[in-house]
Copies of this chain bind each other. A is one copy, B any other.
Amino acid sequence: MAEQNPEEINATFEELDLLQSEFEDVELELIRKTEALHAPLYKKRAELAAKIPHFWALVLEQSPPELDTFFQPSDSSIFAECLKTVNVSRFELDDPKGSPRSFAIEFGFGENSYFEDKVLAKKFWFRRSSDGWQGHVSEPVKINWKKDQDLTGGLTDAAYNLLQAKTKLAKEDSKAKETTLPEYKALASKIEQSEDASNSFFAWFAFASSYRWVSAEESERAFKVEAERKEKIRKGEKVEEEEEPAYDNEQDFQETEVFPQGDEIAALIADEMWPSAIKYYKHAHEADDEDLSEIDEDFDDEDDSDEEIDIRGLVGKGRNSKSKLSDSPPPKRQRQT
């Protein structure tokens, strides 16, 4: 390939950059289209799932292995005991200030011995920071644990308390730093203590961000700045080389970061488990009929835990297993070595 003029190549890079934002626009349109086509199917699925005992517990059990590793045996017990519904919705689908990428995950529970709540819902807002990060942020969700039943050892409470204290601070327009709040220190020390323990999945409800908190206002501004920059390039105007905008580098956001992979887990639930729930359910169902060990090898091969809870065991044999759901492939053959 011939060497090219650096100026020419720079122009090509700018065009590539614009093209990438066209790809992103298409992506957003596809999310809207997908939602519109899926909506009536999800409604019907919810109706059918309501008639099948433990539908969602079994879906979660057969969920992608990357997700499955985050469920502790006690989490699986709760799911088997009282998980009634799961719902994923895109609540900013047509909001010009929001994003079709934002979503909410809602778990519905029956009466249980762990917490008072009948619904635990967690929102994930897709945001852009002033320094160019893009991703999902969330807010800690309060779980009303019953006495001595908190599976997270106080983590959800501590995270929720900090959120409340921060919100109060912001309202008072105080100059006090977040890091000086007693709630900040309480959460930081709780995280430090629990660093090694494999935590309950329910600690995920305390997740806020894998980067730092980005407010709706900051995000709106950042998206606007970026859109203006693109528009200039499109018109062929000169664009200043971006400076990395300053942000409070002094604060160590990891000090109060709960469940660092919380956004990835949310994406696995919303993008993998949710649209394919029937498939996962069928896997679980067939595992009842067939050689369990063989199926387990197929679907749980990332799972090395001895203490794995068998939800099929927990939910008992209430289901009739004679009607075989068709259309699932035979288990993939293993290469004999």
Contact = CB atoms under 8 A, between A and B. Distances in A.
Interface stretch (A60-68, A116-124, A141-149, A317-325): A317-325
Contact of A20 (B38, B52, B278): B278
A17 B319 contact: no
Contact of A320 (B6, B48, B332): B6
A74 interface: no
A253 B44 CA distance: 41
Contact of A330 (B22, B133, B242): B133
A236 interface: no
Query: Within the oligomer, what is the number of copies of this chain?
Result: 2
Nearest to A242: B326
B44 A19 contact: yes
Interface string A295-337: 0000000000000000000000011101111111110110110
Contacts of A52: 4, 9, 12-13, 16
Contacts of A211: 332-333
A318 B1 CA distance: 10
A182 interface: no
Interface in A37-55: 37-38, 41, 44-45, 48, 51-54
A1 B53 contact: yes
A15 B285 CA distance: 15
Contacts of A132: 326-330
Contact of A135 (B30, B41, B329): B329
Given A37-B26, A132-B330, A332-B210, A323 B14 contact: yes
A320 B51 CA distance: 62
A135 B19 CA distance: 33
Interface string A261-295: 00000000000000100110110010000000000
A58 to B, nearest CB: 12
A324 B242 contact: yes
11 contacts: A9-B319, A10-B323, A13-B285, A16-B48, A17-B326, A20-B279, A20-B327, A30-B30, A242-B324, A242-B326, A254-B333
Given A30-B37, A253-B333, 16 more contacts: A4-B51, A4-B53, A12-B51, A12-B52, A13-B52, A13-B285, A16-B45, A16-B52, A21-B327, A23-B38, A26-B41, A30-B34, A132-B329, A135-B329, A242-B324, A254-B335
